[in-house]
A = this chain, B = another copy of it.
């Protein structure tokens, strides 16, 4: 009732009592922490936040929070979030997904959600691997990674999700590193606050199937320049960076999409007129 200046929520208010099943050391623990901290900062009560995911280690996040959640099927988090947000624009809706769920099987929804530009935030925990199914290449996996499914490597160039997001019309594009909890938290706050479709790629190491990713913490560094609002410039920068630039890279100003609702609506009998003779 009384207007209080100090934050109403702590990160723990957004954490559920369910113990994550992740491997010890998995980057996703840090992402979970950053999300709950960001939500505490954002200051909406947990019941006004909904977190939607697909299937994968990363997609386990919703049930570990104390928000409304939907752990859907593999690759379809964005459509579920779309339906949810259209019907309940008052909710803060966050999609948490992985590089397999979001970029491989879910690639088409990624394209079209960027384009649709609803006021959603998509957080991808990118570990360049399918963790949950025990180590197959994802679209961001390096071409020479030897796996049982691709002996000797895929031979395919990893794709650049940030450029795809930009090309498809995302309104906010950022890269974070799971281990940098402070920066990741503030990027998430920024992404949720920014209107329209916000895309946050988080480098989140898979210690089990990509132990080499432990070195990421030494490779990441802040982006040398500030975010731009020119998508062509942002795309060019990202296409030529080293993949470890962290920060908000693009901040657009497209109007978010709001579906046309008929307000409270007419009487049903009005719909019948067209059939009457």
- Chain A interfacial positions (CB closer than 8 Å to B): 104-108, 111-112, 115-117, 139, 152, 155-157, 159-160, 163-164, 166-169, 231-233, 235-236, 239-240, 254, 257, 260
**What B residues does A168 contact at CB under 8 A?**
159, 164
Decide: A240 and B235 in contact? CB cutoff 8 A: no
Q: Which of B105, B117, B157, B164 contacts A164 (CB 8 A)?
A: B164
Decide: A107 and B112 in contact? CB cutoff 8 A: yes
Q: So how many copies of this chain end up in the complex?
A: 2
Decide: A115 and B236 in contact? CB cutoff 8 A: no
* Cα of A63 to Cα of B146 in the assembled complex, Å: 42
Q: Which residue on chain B has the smallest CB distance to residue A236?
A: B232
Decide: A163 and B167 in contact? CB cutoff 8 A: yes
**Can you give 11 contacting A-B residue pairs, CB < 8 Å?**
A107-B107, A115-B156, A115-B159, A155-B257, A157-B254, A163-B167, A163-B235, A164-B164, A167-B239, A232-B236, A236-B236
**What B residues does A104 contact at CB under 8 A?**
112
What is the distance, in angstroms, from A29's C-beta to the closest C-beta of chain B? 30
Asked if A156 meets B107 with Cβ closer than 8 Å, knowing A167-B167, A231-B239, A232-B240, the reply is no
**What B residues does A116 contact at CB under 8 A?**
156
Decide: B164 and A111 in contact? CB cutoff 8 A: yes
* Cα of A239 to Cα of B252 in the assembled complex, Å: 15
